[in-house]
Structure formats: structure tokens, C-alpha cells
Structure 1
Amino acid sequence: MVNQIFGAFLRLGLTSFGGPTAHIGYFRTEFVLRRGWLSEAEFAERLAIAQFLPGPASSQLGFAIGLHRGGVAGALAAFLGFTLPSALLMTLAGLSAQVLPGGAAAGAIAGLKLVALAVVAQALWGMARSLCPDTARRLLALAACAALLMLPAAALQIGVIALAAAFGATRPLPAAAPAQMAERGRALGPALALACLLLAALPFARPYLGAGALVFGGGHVVLPLLREALPGVGAETFLAGYGLAQAMPGPLFTFASYLGAATGGIGSALIATAAIFAPGFALYALALPLWSWIGANGRARGAVAAVNAAVVGVLAAAFLTQILPAGLHDGRAAGIAALLLVLAFSTRLPPVALVGLGAGLGAALL
């Protein structure tokens, strides 16, 4: 059974392009419609938990499907199968980034930074439309952005998210109580929480743990959280890796594999990858026995809605202060960025195509 789970998720890890929303669609097709491992109701309930909690939603959903099908071993098999392909590729890219390239390779890296600009702009627009549907949440996003423009710091990002949660708790949303789940592996949550504490003893792992625990609203939010927490990583290396991550199948969180490899080699890549995923999985496993109460708690739902709005502001501030200045260094870069932005917003080109185009134009023109 574990081998079957690993094989199914490995195939998805090799072919699932398009980001978390696309991954969820692939999972439903594979595990509900084709294999029948879950019913529609079981799938929807596990997806609701993943969307409610911080962390990488598609990876959390895969983790939950593996846990449902094969217990703790199944959850681990699902995670490894879905994550290994992109983690290995991003680790190799990070090792290559330790040697600064020149010539066309340097131009390609400059092009990847412009891809990051287009992809984050598109994600920011989509998040703003879905996560800020009313005036209160739009104002909350603007306030978060303004605060971080005045004082860009990792500690302030955490403070903004915490204040948003406190504000949202005063504005409860209608409750939606899910059915009770009989879940396997109830000891998994405490074990993963202990693993997070052990990783926290390693200073190198702490930025990744913090990012993994605070990412609401989509994997793109790792960019501002990690950029401020990793000042030793050059802007060129950081944004080029983020652009490259868009071309990978599987989870965007393997950007941490790239950063770990670029700053400390293979061992650091392993630690960074484990640290960024562990908090989301721990929170998911801990929430399973409490989900009926959490789903029915209007204040909790209000807090999460407010946090989601605030992270739109966090990402907007990162876009304005980090991505735009790093990418738009001359007229040719601005022209390539404008083309990529138009294509991202007006066509259905997949991210991998934007990455190829951006890197090619950068190699030829920058």
C-alpha cells in the first residue's frame, strides 16, 4: 500500500505544473474520480482544513490523503513522492547558484527575476480579488502594505499578521461545521510538533520554520517572509531562484531547497526543506481531532479571513520594495517585464512557458 501511495504521488510530483489550485484539481481527478480512495465529501473536508490553516495547502491535502489511505507511513510516502522531483531539481539549481555565472547565463538569471515580477503580480491580483471581497478587508490589506512600506522588517510582518488575526476575531463569520472525521495517526501531530521544536534549535532552520508556520493565502507569501529573514542571500540569487521555482512541478515550497543549497550545500537544503514543510503538517495533524470545533467557531473563521487579507498587503509591500527595484534596472528589462506581465494577465500561458520565455529573452538581451 505504501509503495502504491508513493508511486501515485511521485507521478503527480513529476507532472503537476500550475501551482496549488491546479494541484488540488489533479488530486481530485486522481484520488476521487480515478482511484476512488476518497469520496467527494471526504476530499472536500480535508481540503477545507488545508485552506483554513497556514502552510502549503496542496501539500497538506496530499499529506492528508496519504494519511487517510495508509496511516503515518502513507502520509510520509505521499509527501516524499510529491515533493522529491522539484526538491531535487531546485537543490541542483541552488548548488549551481553558488558559482556566479557570466554572459548569457547572467542574462538568463536577470530574465528569471522578471518572471518572478510577472508571476507575483498575477498572484497578487488574484489574491486581492478573492481574499479582500469587502471594504474592511481591502482597508486591512492597504494598512498592512503601508506599515511594511514604512518599516520593512521580518518582525513587523509577523506583528501585522498577529494584529490582523486579533482584529478578525472581533468580526466573526458564519460557522460551517464539518462532519466528524475518524482519522488515523493521532500521535502524528505531537510528533511533528516535537520535530519543529528540534529544528528550531538550529538557527539556520528558524527562518524556514517561521515562513512555513505563517504562510496564509498561497505559497507566494514565502517570498516576503524569507527575503527579510535571509539577508545573506543576494537579491539576484533569491529572485532568480523564485522565478525558476515557477517552472517546477509540485510544491512551490521547494524554493526552500534552492535557498538552502545556495547558502550551505546539500545538508542545508535538506534542513530547509524539512523546516518549511514541518509546521504546516504539524498544524494539520493537530487540527484533525479539533476540526469540528474549529470549523464551527465563527471567531476563528473571522481571524483567518482577516489574516488572509493582511497577507495580500504583505505581498504587495514585497512586490513594491523588493521585486520591482531588483528587476527593472534599465529600459530593456522594463520592456521584457511589460511583455511578461501582458502575457501573464491576458493569456493562459503556463508558468513554465513564462519561465522559458523570460530566461531566453534575458539571455539574448540583458
Structure 2
Amino acid sequence: MPVSEQERPLAGNAGEVFLAFLKLGLTSFGGPIAHLGYFRDEFVTRRRWLDEAGYADLVALCQFLPGPASSQVGFALGLMRAGPLGALAAWTAFTLPSALLLVLFAYGAAALEGGFAQGVLHGLKLVAVAIVAQAVFGMARSLTPDRERAGIAVLAIFVVVLAGGAMGQVGAILLGGLAGLWLCRGAPTMAAESHLHALPRRAGIMALVLFALLLVGLPLIGGAGPGLALFDGFYRAGALVFGGGHVVLPLLEAETVGRGLVTPDAFLAGYGAAQAVPGPLFTFAAYLGAIGLAPPNGIGGAAIALVAIFLPGLLLVVGALPFWTQLRRWPQAQAGMRGANAAVVGLLGAALYDPVFTSAVLTPLDFALALAGFVALVAWKAPSWSVVLALGLAGGLLVL
């Protein structure tokens, strides 16, 4: 009798996943789009945990879901590699470094000031340019190999540019999938990733039910205590935001500054510090939970806020993956996914220009440094952490 997906042995272990994501948690600067580039370099190109199409499938799925897309992709990679413990290891290792740094900042750690530190921060923005450019270059070669899919990628760029925001991103992927049903039916059938761990549908349904119960139930019981009220506010912020990253800031401001838990100056100072640390921007919640003017605050408040803001997005990933795995095997669904994957290339291409390139490349020398980082990654196969160190140091030295 063939071994079912649920019985298939795992391809890795939680320790392996933890160490891989810890390196990324310490070195992944540049925001969610850059993180997706780091992930692709580490897990598709170097470690070969999955292929290009499988990775693009995960990116497309997580772009559809509310929550922090890069953290959701990392959580899913850990889940498929080493099961639930692998998922927890991936999230913990990728999230904790930046969360701990922001909590230290909340307790009075010195903010990055002065010319050298600001130069380092600018160098890290140039790293993001190189990383995202590498991701677009590599994914375009494998996911847009023909005129039809290249055209879908260009269409996606237009949709993102004209519509803007999270709705533009979701709309681009949706239109890409519809175009794929029409234009990509004749492409070769994708092979399923037989080495990936699959969740049973029952687990997915339970996760979706828990997501809905918390979203509806927490506001009803939030008055039972300040801890529950804090958890409710951050859970709602994580559950209702599409696009992740900076998109969540207005919701966080409403839940903290708007409720008198954090002063406007403290909020802005923490947001500035969040730009200086690696990992997901959602860890800004740990700072807000720690700096709160009313209990629970400190370490307890940081832990509540951090778990609450990530939990809804992770529950949605668990809920969607069992059905996504089955869906992508159907010929019609595969045609749609080819179009959606091409749209992801366009989405990343649009993000490479704005905000990544426009916010980082301000002078011809900036362009030269970003290009050097790109060449180091693509032609010299340099590890991403070495490019982070080199461009960060170069940015600091240039202002002296």
C-alpha cells in the first residue's frame, strides 16, 4: 500500500530548521519583500528544500492571506520541512532576534544615532536592493520562461502600480491566476513536491475555526482583564491587515496611541528603531507591549503583543495549506498557478522599484554599491550575510 501524504516521513528536523532561520533572523534586513529574497536564496537555491514553483506557490498563497507575508512563508517552510515543531522553530528563530532588540530599546537601549550609524542603516537599504533584484532575476528565469507568462508579469506590474496598496497586490495575483487559466494550459504539468510534509484537512479546519473564534470572541471577553484586552487589540491588528509590514502601522497606532497606552513620541521612536533591526516589522508589537503606560507591560506585555499579532496569520496558513496542497495538483489549478506565479514575479519587480530602489538609491554611488551587491550574490554566489556586512560597513564608512 502506498504511503499517504500524512504518513510520509519528514524531510528534516526542528533543530535544522531553527539554525537555518536563526541565521536569517539575524541578517534579514530590508522588509518583507527583501525577506522573500533571502528565503529564496537560502531554501530554493542553497538548501533545495523545495523548487522554484513550489516556493512561488507559497508566496502567492501568503500574499492572499492577512498577516505578515514573509513570516507566514517562513512558518510554512518550517511546517513542510519538519512538521509543527519545525514551524514553531522557524517562527521563533526568525522572530526573536528583532523582538529582543526592540524590547531592549524599550528598556532604554541607545537608539542608533550619529553619522556612522545612519550610514550603516543606509547601507542596509542597499542590501535590500541587491537581494530583491536577485530574487526577481532568478524567479523570472524559471517562472516567466515564455511570452505568455512574461506578459502576465508585466500586467501584474501595471496592476500594482495603478491600484497600489495591498488590494493591488492581491488583485495582480488574482488576475494572473485568471490569465493563467486561459494562456498557460499547454505548459508541462508541475510535479508535486513529494518530500514536503502535508497537514491533514482536519488540522486545517481546526485552525480556521480557532482563528474565527478568537476574532469574534476576544472583543466579547476583552473586558475581563487588561491582558485579554491587549491580546485582543494586537490579534485584531494582525488578523485584519493585508500586505503586512508597514500596512499594519495605522492599526497599531489606533490600538496603542489611540487608547492612551503609548505616547505618540514613543510610538515614532520605536518605529524608527524597528527599521534598524533584521527580521519582520511585526516585531514592533513587542516594543509597544513593553513600553505600555499601563499593565501588562514590560516583558509580559511584549510577549502578549508579539504572540497576538502573529497568531492570526499563522493560523490562516495552517488552515489554508492542506487545501492548497491538493488544489495545486489539478491541471486547471496548475494552469492558474502558473499565471499567479508569473504575477508574483511582476509584484516583486514593482516592489524592487518602489519602495526598495526609490528609498535606497539616492546617488550614483548608491547605485554602484547596490549593483556590486547584486553581482556578488548572482555571479560570485556570495552568501547573503556577507553582502549585509559589506554594504552595511561601506554605508557607515562613506559618511565619515
Instruction: State if a TM-score over 0.5 links the two structures.
Output: yes
Instruction: Check 1:302–1:199 CA distance in 2 against 1; reply closer, same or farther (3 A cut).
Output: farther
Residue 113 of structure 2: aligned partner: 102
Task: For residue 170 of structure 1, give the secondary structure of its aligned residue in structure 2.
Answer: helix
- Give, in whole Å, the separation in 2 of the partners of 1:315 and 1:23: 18
1:95 CA drift (Å):
4.3
- Give, in whole Å, the separation in 2 of the partners of 1:96 and 1:362: 25
Preserved CA contact (<8 Å) 1:110 1:236: no
Instruction: Check 1:176–1:5 CA distance in 2 against 1; reply closer, same or farther (3 A cut).
Output: closer
Preserved CA contact (<8 Å) 2:238 2:310: no
1:311 pairs, out of 344, 349, 352, with 344
Residue 352 of structure 1: aligned partner: 385
- Give, in whole Å, the separation in 2 of the partners of 1:335 and 1:328: 9
- Give, in whole Å, the separation in 2 of the partners of 1:150 and 1:51: 23
Residue 262 of structure 2: aligned partner: none
TM-score w.r.t. structure 2 length? 0.64
Instruction: Check 1:196–1:347 CA distance in 2 against 1; reply closer, same or farther (3 A cut).
Output: farther
Instruction: Check 1:192–1:20 CA distance in 2 against 1; reply closer, same or farther (3 A cut).
Output: farther
TM-score w.r.t. structure 1 length? 0.69
1:278 CA drift (Å):
3.1
Residue 284 of structure 1: aligned partner: 321
Instruction: Check 1:362–1:335 CA distance in 2 against 1; reply closer, same or farther (3 A cut).
Output: same
Q: Deviations over 1:209-232 (max 9, x none)?
A: x44xxxxxxxxxxxxx64455467
More helix by share: 1
Aligned residues: 310
Preserved CA contact (<8 Å) 2:19 2:93: no
Residue 142 of structure 1: aligned partner: 154
Q: Kindly, what percent of the aligned residue pairs are identical?
A: 22
Instruction: Check 1:303–1:190 CA distance in 2 against 1; reply closer, same or farther (3 A cut).
Output: same
Residue 174 of structure 2: aligned partner: 162
- Give, in whole Å, the separation in 1 of the partners of 2:47 and 2:180: 32
1:81 CA drift (Å):
2.3
Residue 188 of structure 1: aligned partner: 203
User: Structure 1 unaligned runs (5+)?
Assistant: 29-42, 67-74, 212-224, 246-254
- Give, in whole Å, the separation in 2 of the partners of 1:188 and 1:303: 26
- Give, in whole Å, the separation in 2 of the partners of 1:50 and 1:122: 15
Instruction: Check 1:285–1:105 CA distance in 2 against 1; reply closer, same or farther (3 A cut).
Output: same
Residue 76 of structure 1: aligned partner: 84
Residue 259 of structure 2: aligned partner: none
| Counterpart residue type for residue 239 of structure 2 | R
- Give, in whole Å, the separation in 2 of the partners of 1:346 and 1:160: 31
Preserved CA contact (<8 Å) 1:124 1:312: yes
1:12 CA drift (Å):
4.5
Task: For residue 349 of structure 1, give the secondary structure of its aligned residue in structure 2.
Answer: coil
1:271 pairs, out of 278, 303, 308, with 308
Provide the aligned C-alpha RMSD in A: 3.8
Preserved CA contact (<8 Å) 2:41 2:135: no
User: Structure 2 unaligned runs (5+)?
Assistant: 1-11, 28-37, 63-71, 217-234, 254-266, 291-301
1:22 CA drift (Å):
3.6
Q: Write out aligned runs for 1:325-336 (5 A).
A: 325-336=358-369
Instruction: Check 1:138–1:186 CA distance in 2 against 1; reply closer, same or farther (3 A cut).
Output: closer
- Give, in whole Å, the separation in 1 of the partners of 2:93 and 2:191: 37
Instruction: Check 1:64–1:226 CA distance in 2 against 1; reply closer, same or farther (3 A cut).
Output: same
1:282 CA drift (Å):
1.9
Instruction: Work out whether 1:63 is the aligned partner of 2:83.
Output: no
Q: Write out aligned runs for 1:290-305 (5 A).
A: 291=326, 294-305=327-338
1:305 CA drift (Å):
0.9
Instruction: Check 1:194–1:100 CA distance in 2 against 1; reply closer, same or farther (3 A cut).
Output: farther
- Give, in whole Å, the separation in 1 of the partners of 2:53 and 2:152: 24
